[in-house]
Amino acid sequence: MVYVNLLPLRPELASEAPYGAPQLDVPVLLNVNENPYQPSAEVVATIAADVAEAARSLNRYPDRDFLPLRADLATYLRRESEVELAPEQIWAANGSNEVMLHLLQAFGGPGRAAASFAPTYSMYPEYARDTHTRWVAGRREADFTLDPVVAAATIEAEQPAVILLASPNNPTGTALPLPTIEAVLDAASRVTVPDAPAGAGAVVVVDEAYAEFRRPGTPSALELLADHPNLAVTRTMSKAFTAAGLRLGYLAASAALVDALRVVRLPYHLSAVTQAAARAALKHTDVLLAQVDSLRAERDALVAWLRAQPGPDGTPLIVADTDANFALFGPFPDRGVIWRGLLDRGVLIREVGPPGWLRVSVGTPQEMQAFKDALAEVIGLGSRGGW
């Protein structure tokens, strides 16, 4: 990296490493919350046919406003959460990561702040850094819930222009009750954003990347959209929809908020190939979401199993309540030892979250068995060695 010294890199980037979990060639991959089931042959065939059709006009730029795809996504959300949305209330980009960057580009910037509540998704501070937005890390409670009074106090003290709430949260799996989100929206409405029209208030983003995995009775923040023009709810096809490789994330918000994002997106940011593949995949919503129920059941069984395992001090492991397709468990005196022990046995999980904790994604029943066997062995070694 010696050449870096010769480049006029922004000083705040000089010691930064690119984001990303290790992409290792290991038999059991449980580290990035992917869906373990490949798209079926039927889904692959539709995608191939529709992409071939789109390829015939690749000499032309794609449809800049992609209203047909936005209409399909609105139809999907109506079905999934029973919330009525117009195509103009949907926005999409190459992954919900890009959608959230658009939000920071439009509503953050120099002189403004963005806030979230840690531990949470580690990409949020990067969107802030890349848009010259001051970053505020508020806090969650010891059980990873968000105290609405603490959240409102942070918002009042810091006056952020953008507030990011992951629900279910990554890496903890914690979903937020609607009254907590409403308390944040209320505090956000009283924020004075620098250089914004009086009374504009802050934008609240609820990142629902894992929404489809939520337990029965856990609501979606989509239900709050009708009353909150400053709210954006982001979703993705990367997790439940088993299409992480597609790079299609989207949001639902007021049409006015979506219009603001159209200003900052790059021209033709969503390729004709992506649009065609996403619409093709959405034709098979039933098939693609068929495994979500079994992944949820597998998740609940995993949590119960982990809670029955002895931790380092002999008492059972602690597992955060989870509405997502992963579980955060621990704490271990040296989580690196556990992580490496699993890797040595062909199982890759993620060293992420507060010190001592580990995150494991929900895989197929076979993958879960491999994880359980490996973990029981590694914990057994640890306790015999006195940790």
Residues interacting with ligand PLP, by CB under 6 A? 33, 95-97, 121, 166, 170, 207, 209, 236, 238-239, 244, 249
Residue 288 backbone phi and psi in degrees, to 5? -65, -30
Rounded-to-integer distance, Cα 39 and Cα 50, Å: 15
DSSP per-residue codes, 211-235: GGGPPTTPPPGGGGGGG-TTEEEEE
Identity of the residue, 139 or 340, whose beta carbon is nearer to ligand PLP in the bound complex: 139
How many CA atoms lie within 13 Å of 55's alpha carbon, on the beta-carbon side? 7
In the complex, least distance from residue 97 CB atom to ligand PLP, rounded to whole angstroms: 3
Nearer to ligand PLP, 96 or 131 (CB): 96
- Alpha-helical (H) ranges within 134-219 are 148-158, 178-189
CB-based closest residue to ligand PLP = 95
CB of 278 to ligand PLP, least distance (A): 12
Query: CB of residue 245 vs ligand PLP: minimum separation in angstroms?
Result: 10
- In sequence order, the β-bridge partners of residue 26 are none
Q: CB-wise, 94 or 254, nearer to ligand PLP? A: 94
Query: Nearest approach, Cβ of 184 to ligand PLP (angstroms)?
Result: 17
Question: What does the block give as tokens for 227?
Answer: 């009353």
Give me the least distance between CB of 218 and ligand PLP, in Å please.
16
| Nearer CB in complex with ligand PLP: 138/249 | 249
Pick between residue 170 and residue 193 the one whose CB is nearest to ligand PLP: 170
Helix residue ranges per DSSP H, the chain: 41-55, 67-81, 96-107, 124-130, 148-158, 178-189, 255-264, 272-282, 285-307, 335-344, 365-384
Q: In angstroms, what is the minimal distance from the CB of 325 to ligand PLP?
A: 10
Q: State how far Cα 221 lies from the chain centre.
A: 14
Number of H helices, E strands in the chain: 11, 12
Query: Pick from 325, 264, 309: which is nearest to 131 by CA?
Result: 264
User: Judged by CB, which is closer to ligand PLP: 170, or 322?
Assistant: 170
Question: C-beta of 240: minimal distance to ligand PLP in Å?
Answer: 11
Measured from the CB atom, the residue of 230 and 242 that comes closer to ligand PLP is: 242
Backbone angles phi, psi at 210, to 5 degrees: -110, 15
Structure tokens that stand for 60 in this block: 């032309």
Q: 96 or 174, CB closer to ligand PLP?
A: 96
Distance CA 352, CA 55 (A): 40
Nearest distance in Å: CB 94, ligand PLP:
8
Q: For ligand PLP, give the closer residue by CB, 329 or 374.
A: 329
Euclidean distance between CA atoms 24 and 277, whole angstroms = 27
User: Does 119 sit behind a cis peptide bond, omega within 30 degrees of 0 on the bond before it?
Assistant: yes
State the amino acid at position 176 in one-letter form: L
- The CA radius of gyration of the chain, in Å to the nearest whole number, is 21
**Long-range residue pairs from 213-219, CB within 8 A, at least 24 positions apart, any chain:** 213/168, 213/239, 213/240, 213/292, 213/295, 213/296, 213/299, 213/323, 213/324, 213/325, 214/168, 214/175, 214/323, 214/324, 215/175, 215/296, 215/323, 218/175, 218/323, 219/177, 219/178
Identity of the residue, 107 or 201, whose beta carbon is nearer to ligand PLP in the bound complex: 107
Minimum gap (Å) between residue 216 Cβ and ligand PLP: 22
Least distance between ligand PLP and beta carbon 236 (Å): 3
